[in-house]
Chains A and B, each alone.
Chain A
Amino acid sequence: MIVLLIYAAIFVASYVIVKLVVHRQARDYTSLKTVTFGDESAVTPNRIASVVSILSIFLLWAAFTGSTLVPRFLHAPGPFIGDATFTYTAEAEGQRDDATVTVRVFRVGEDVAVPEVDPGDGWAKNDSDTVGAWRSGLIRVDRNDELGRDSGHAVVAVNGQPIEPGGSVQTDFGRVGMSPKGTLNFEPAKGWQMEPIWLPPPEAVLTRLVEISREGYRDSTLWEHLGYSLFRVLVGFVTGALVGIPLGYAMGLSNWFRGWFDPIVEFMRPVPPLALIPLVIIWAGIGETGKIILLFLAALWIMAIAARSGVSGVRISKVHAAYSLGASKGQIMRHVIVPNSLPEIFTGARVAMGVCWGTVVAAELVAAEKGAGMMIMVASKFQLTDIVIMGIILIGVIGFGIDILMRKAEKALVPWKGRG
């Protein structure tokens, strides 16, 4: 919630600053065009906003994970680390006595020794223990006291404030609670930062990336994992397109084909490929065949529908013009209908590639020996959150890269798209 508010504040503040400092020159009539809603051409992405947006996400990530990449004063308050102390008042056989508890709060993963303390006076002795940051620990204060539980030992106050089973007392170092059976439970202050097991700092993800790209993960290098995912997508997409495009053409050109395949295509189109995973695993197992069949099915319907609408979308005047110029049916197919359908097919291919990439990751999450999805699934089972985040970022970057490549290909191969 706090993070969201800070993000909104950065959004507003950077808008105001950029408007004041940079955008003085934007005083032409284009600013009036935005009045006509729906005129998309008047709205172009502000690149400064994009940069600030990305930077602030990383800044927030670094600040709330105590990253070493940003200066300390930007950090959100961290968890308490060090020696915490509080006193307790115990009662046994009608006598009361005070003692101090020293708890060493340490970063999980570091070596720690129980602090040595002087036992002190009275029958209640001073205690010491260790608790990891973001964790909590039971502290059996009666263990070293001269009057134990057999004598009716009970803690009645912490730092002078009365406490009873089920209750708790706030101290400067965190919360001291009491279990229903009367044992003290210390929970050091957590601060606002995220525990690495939930969200590791950016540098941890980066280190992991370097480590895994050098040493690999689960018997395969990083490139093998990503390469396998990409390979499956490519093979699935290409086979899907090889079958789907001719099928779409046939459906666009022949009543019989249209009638025969319409129910199948219209039924299969709304079935998410993810829903087919269990069936494909039953039929083809968890190996490559199963995944490629799945991706083939994901791409097939999209490509068939794209090719079909590309064919039926041809302007009749173009076909008429070609006929009256003496072209034969075959020539019209080759020189008019096919090129005219290419823009639609490219749009379909972009969609299909996106769907295939999403589907392959999901399929690998379910079962795989190699692959980007398998990598993050296995890592999450061992609570290696840094690998999970690294995997998500890599999957996103590759998906984005695929879309950029498809757009570039589209521009180079069908420059007439949308200009007919």
Chain B
Amino acid sequence: MNRRDGMSGLTIENLSMRFDLPNGTAVQALKDISLKIKQGELMSVLGPSGCGKTTLLNIVAGFLAPTEGRITLNGHLVKGPDAERGMVFQQGALFEWMNVRENVSFGPRMAGRREKDWGGTVDHLLDVVGLRDFKEKAVYELSGGMQQRVALARCLANDPDVILMDEPLGALDALTREKMQSLVLKLWKETGKTIILITHSVEEALLLGERLLVMAPRPGRIHREYRLPFADLGVGQDLRQVKRHPEFAQRREEILGMIWDMEEEIMGRTEESA
């Protein structure tokens, strides 16, 4: 099937989300967001806290129903969670009562497939994420970085069309994080999946985004969009090399300034209301 035709990819149309609070007021978490993400695109989403990034991701995943607007994937409407949209969480989403291999094979097993169908894929994925020797280990015996690699492999074993990542590397130390960033780029190139990645780190957003979306809060909306070369550069070479790219530093300063202004605006507003 040709996925680069008009029907393929993820389309978000006029999406709005309003939360009604118990005290009678309402919070406009997202307002009128429209996006088109092509099959195989790597998009990172950045923004100050409270800008609705996670809400957006939860709506795409199908955990939340939007107040207005619609989402279509490859031409059909998104209604609820589905195996076609895999999700990688920050941490704590692995199943402690299963070992590494059982965690990774969860999706295929739930689909009722037999081990001879999924065994090869799962073992290959464990090799790719470097956990071949840890197959039989309990997940709580692994380090944080290894746990996130299990989560990545688990998501890929299910062969989703879109991978949604909610700050998957947020809880890792700097060195592990850099290694994991390379791994994400490698997996993206090898599998050709559409990936939407939410992050708090400007550097990470630059490195792991063909497209970078900067969101603004109150109400959550798209502030700016960039097309960046760094993800493609990072596939072949050391990420530290990429960070030395002159455009990288320039973009980083630009976006940092942008987010600083937004944060300051929020602070100012809360001080006024207080």
Contact = CB atoms under 8 A, between A and B. Distances in A.
A317 B97 contact: no
B83 A326 contact: yes
Interface stretch (A88-96, A350-358, A367-375, A412-420): A412-420
Contact of A321 (B62, B80, B89, B111): B89
Given A415-B138, A416-B138, A320 B83 contact: no
Contacts of A416: 96-97, 138, 140
B110 A325 contact: yes
A327 B158 CA distance: 11
Among B92, B97, B106, the one with the most A-chain Cβ atoms within 10 Å of its Cβ is: B97
Nearest to B140: A419
A146 B154 CA distance: 110
B81 A320 contact: yes
A324 B82 contact: yes
A420 B85 contact: no
B87 A335 contact: no
Contact of A327 (B86, B110, B164): B110
B95 interface: yes
A326 B82 contact: yes
A315 B81 contact: no
B63 interface: yes
A324 B140 contact: no
A198 interface: no
B61 interface: yes
Contact of A339 (B80, B83, B95, B111): B95
Contacts of B95: 318, 322, 335-336, 339-340
Contacts of A327: 106-107, 110
Contacts of B155: 325
Given A324-B61, A324-B87, A420 B81 contact: no
Given A326-B82, A336-B95, A321 B87 contact: yes
A420 B92 CA distance: 7
A373 to B, nearest CB: 39
A321 B62 CA distance: 11
Contacts, number: 78
A328 interface: yes
B93 interface: yes
B74 to A, nearest CB: 16
B77 to A, nearest CB: 17
Interface in A278-332: 315, 317-318, 320-328, 331
Contacts of B107: 325-327
A320 B166 CA distance: 12
Contacts of A320: 61, 63, 81, 87, 89, 93
Contacts of A323: 62-63, 80-81
Given A335-B95, A416-B138, A328 B110 contact: yes
Nearest to A316: B63
B89 A322 contact: no
A353 to B, nearest CB: 23
A326 B93 contact: no
Nearest to A416: B96
Q: Size band of the A side of the interface?
A: 20 to 34
Contact of B93 (A317, A331, A415): A317
A301 B160 CA distance: 44
A390 to B, nearest CB: 44
Among B82, B110, B111, the one with the most A-chain Cβ atoms within 10 Å of its Cβ is: B110
A325 B92 contact: no
A343 to B, nearest CB: 9
Contacts of A340: 95, 97
Given A318-B92, A318-B95, A416-B138, A324 B110 contact: no
Given A324-B82, A326-B82, A420-B140, A317 B89 contact: yes
Given A324-B61, A328-B110, A416-B97, A317 B83 contact: no
A356 to B, nearest CB: 27
A342 B95 CA distance: 13
Contacts of B140: 416, 419-420
Contact of A325 (B86, B90, B138, B164): B86
A316 to B, nearest CB: 9
Contacts of B62: 323-324
Given A325-B86, A325-B158, A315 B93 contact: yes
Interface in B128-152: 138, 140, 151
A260 to B, nearest CB: 23
B58 to A, nearest CB: 8
A317 B83 CA distance: 15
Contacts of A342: 97
A337 to B, nearest CB: 11
Nearest to B89: A317
A325 B63 contact: no
Contacts of A324: 61-62, 81-83, 85-87, 160, 164
B111 A326 contact: yes
Interface string B95-114: 11100000000110011000
A322 B154 CA distance: 10
B78 to A, nearest CB: 12
A203 B42 CA distance: 81
A295 to B, nearest CB: 30
A209 to B, nearest CB: 44
Contacts of B93: 315, 317-318, 320-321
Interface in A385-414: 414
Given A315-B93, A340-B95, 11 more contacts: A317-B92, A317-B93, A318-B92, A320-B61, A322-B110, A323-B62, A323-B80, A326-B83, A327-B106, A415-B138, A416-B140
28 contacts: A315-B93, A317-B89, A318-B93, A320-B63, A321-B93, A321-B151, A322-B110, A323-B62, A323-B80, A324-B61, A324-B81, A324-B83, A325-B83, A325-B106, A325-B107, A325-B158, A326-B82, A326-B83, A326-B107, A327-B106, A327-B107, A328-B110, A336-B95, A340-B95, A416-B97, A420-B92, A420-B96, A420-B140
Which 7 residue pairs spanning A and B have beta carbons closest together?
A326-B83, A416-B96, A419-B140, A323-B81, A325-B107, A339-B97, A321-B93
